[in-house]
Amino acid sequence: MPSGLLDRLRRILVFADKVADEIMGEETEILEKTVSRMFEVMYRVAKFSCDYVKHGKWSHYRFVKY
């Protein structure tokens, strides 16, 4: 590879690293919001399911100890 081409490539790679870092920061921000919302939904589904089992129509008959 000619040395002139290698020098140009090195100058470009510095900018490419900066752009990649900016993109990763933006993507990480989006993922943080998405993951927190996903856990909130999972929590609400689990809470609803547990409440349904505890207070559902048939829960009294299945869990009563004689």
Read off the pLDDT of residues 5-59 as tens digits, 9 standing for 90 and up.
Answer: 777 877 787 777 777 778 887 888 888 889 999 999 999 999 998 888 888 766 6
- What's the angle, vertex CA 39, arms to CA 38 and CA 43, rounded to 5? 120
pLDDT of residue 66: 46
Q: Helix %, strand %, coil % for the chain, to 5?
A: 90, 0, 10
CA dihedral 41, 43, 46, 49 (to 10 degrees): -70
- The number of residues in the chain equals 66
Split into its structural domains, the chain has a count of 1
What whole-number distance in Å separates Cα of residue 8 and Cα of residue 4? 6
- Joined together, the tokens standing for residue 7 give 């020098």
Task: Report yes or no on whether pTM surpasses 0.95.
Answer: no
Q: Which domain holds residue 22?
A: 3-63
